[in-house]
Amino acid sequence: MDSLDIRVLSDALAWRSAGHAVTLVTVVQTWGSAPRPPGALLAVRDDGLVSGSVSGGCVEDDLIARTKAAFTNLVAHSATAAQPGAPASLPSEIVYGVSKEEAARFGLPCGGTLRLVHEPLLDARWISELLERTTAHQLVARSLSMSTGAVTLGAAQRGQDIAFDGQTLTTVFGPKWRLLLIGAGQLSQAVAQMAGLLDFEVLVCDPREDYAATLDLAVVQRVEGMPDDVVREMLPDPHTAIVALTHDPKLDDMALLEALKSEAFYVGALGSGRTQAARKERLKEHFDMTDAELARLHGPVGLRLGAKTPAEIAVSILAEIVQVKNAGAVLAHADSSCAVPGALVFNCLN
């Protein structure tokens, strides 16, 4: 589950806490070209304000109209009910794009079809628990009963997909993607700013106070300590990327010693090809690192974009991180002309 969808749930919780009625809409299945994948979330507030997306804008207007109409009908029903506590709306299915005419009406690309679950958010307490668990870097499976609207939370397995059998919808929410940068120089600051736009939680470790003093703490979180201790204590998981950018072996190597043994999905280091070869030889000879561990190192770091400036190098680094993060999707669409080969960069500093 993308961090974007975690933010949608955060907005939904805030709206319910403020007294608004909220509906959640989840993509459960797509056919043809679809802008958003299964599991994508949209939250619609009673006044039409939205968070997230299920179609990139194609069907959102219709969903807003449906939701506002449902809220109006529910209020009217509650006001005329013979007994207090009139029955609330239950989750329901909505399908867009069944015919060519409907696909054209809603602007779905290439005849795409969307199957959605429309769910009134009656009790938001499960959102608080889910956010707490994902903040603690847990994978969470959320199951919704279509017949009752009840939600249960449980542990999820990595690689577990969305499941919907018409009776129960199960979606998986993962922890937020983290990026730990070793070094607080100009390049790190550029990487941090861009990573924030990509919805990464950005952490920076630099024991050099003169460098650390330049950090924009509104964008990043500084983690104090020596790089090896910081990496070890943060318990890197498959939602964590670590990049060493100080160009100082005394600091970068310390971080890499721990990072390359961890579950981090990406480990990179700044430096030329010659620098990387020397680093690998040093780590192997003096610290008994294995060839398999050293093979995990992305260095020179980044995609081959011919980058020169700090901002351009930051783009190349984050492009490679995103490529590795989305490797499953890239492999699944290997016949696409948009696939980018996993080339390494020569934007190095000697």
Residues 6+ apart with CB under 8 A from 213: none
Q: Quick check: 244 and 255 in contact, CB under 8 A?
A: yes
Q: What is the pLDDT of residues 70-106, one digit of tens each?
A: 777 665 555 444 444 434 579 999 888 755 665 556 5
What is d(CA 74, CA 92) in angstroms, rounded to the nearest whole number? Answer: 15
Question: Residue 32, SS3?
Answer: coil
**Where is pLDDT greater, at 287 or 102?**
287
The tokens 């736009």 sit on which residue? Answer: 197
pLDDT, position 67: 80
Span 294-323, mean pLDDT?
A: 95
| Nearest in space to 245 (alpha carbons), one of 310, 161, 303 | 310
What is d(CA 240, CA 259) in angstroms, rounded to the nearest whole number? Answer: 10
In the chain, the domains with their CATH numbers are 3-124 (no CATH), 178-332 (3.40.50.720)
Q: What is the pLDDT of residues 38-50, one digit of tens each?
A: 899 999 999 889 9
pLDDT higher than 90, residue 282 = yes
pLDDT higher than 70, residue 192 = yes
